[in-house]
Amino acid sequence: MQMTSPQPAPKAGIAAPAAQLTSWGVLTAISLCHMINDVMQSMLAAIYPLLRVEFALSYAQIGVITLAFQVTASLLQPLIGMATDRHPQPRSLPFGMGSTLAGVVLLATAHHYAMLLAGAMLIGIGSAVFHPESSRVARLASGGRFGTAQSVFQLGGNFGTSLGPLLAAFIVVPLGRPAVAWFAVAAALGAAILWRVGAWAETRRRAAAARPDQRLRLPRATVIRAIAVLAALVFTKNIYTASMSSYFTFFTIDKFGLSTQGAQLMLFLFLVGMAGGVMLGGVIGDRVGPLTVIWVSILGVLPFTLLLPHVGLQATGVLAVLIGLILASAFPAIVVFAQELVPGRTGMIAGLFFGFSFGMGGIAAAALGVLADVRGIQTVFQLCSVLPVLGLLTILLPRRDRMAG
Q: Each residue of 247-278: pLDDT tens digit?
A: 898 899 989 999 888 888 898 899 888 888 88
Q: Which of 115, 107, 123 is nearest to 39 (CA)?
A: 123
Q: Is residue 8 part of a domain?
A: no
Angle CA 245–246–252, to nearest 5: 85
Q: Each residue of 36-57: pLDDT tens digit?
A: 988 888 788 778 888 888 898 8
Question: How far is residue 332 from each of residues 109, 219, 275, 278, 311, measured CA to CA in Å?
Answer: 36, 24, 12, 6, 30
Q: How far apart are CA 334 and CA 282, in angstroms?
A: 9
Q: Is residue 113 part of a domain?
A: yes
**Where is 4: in which H helix or E strand?**
strand 4-6
Q: Each residue of 327-386: pLDDT tens digit?
A: 888 888 888 888 888 877 777 787 777 776 666 666 777 788 888 888 888 888 988 888
Q: How far apart are CA 174 and CA 168, in angstroms?
A: 9
How large is the angle between the packed helices 220-256 and 330-341, nearest 10 degrees?
160
The answer on pLDDT for 313 being more than 90 is yes
pLDDT given for residue 17 in this prediction:
42
Q: Is residue 10 part of a domain?
A: no
Q: Which of 114, 97, 102 is nearest to 29 (CA)?
A: 97
Q: Is residue 300 part of a domain?
A: yes
Residue 133 belongs to a domain with what CATH number?
1.20.1250.20
Average of per-residue pLDDT values in the chain: 81
Number of domains in the chain: 1
Q: How far apart are CA 77 and CA 92, in angstroms?
A: 13
The answer on pLDDT for 401 being more than 60 is no
Q: Is residue 2 part of a domain?
A: no
Q: State the residue range of the domain holding 231.
A: 25-402
Q: Is residue 15 part of a domain?
A: no
Looking at 22-31, 34-43, 205-214, which range is the least confident one? 205-214
**In terms of C-beta density within 10 A (0-12 exposed, 13-18 middle, 19 or more buried), how is residue 247 classed?**
buried
Q: Is residue 140 part of a domain?
A: yes
Q: Is residue 325 part of a domain?
A: yes
Instruction: Give yes or no for a contact between 287 and 380, defined as CB atoms under 8 angstroms apart.
Output: no
Q: What is the C-alpha radius of gyration for the chain, rounded to an integer number of angstroms?
A: 20
The answer on pLDDT for 10 being more than 50 is no
The backbone torsions φ and ψ at residue 112, rounded to the nearest 5 degrees and listed phi first, read -150, 170
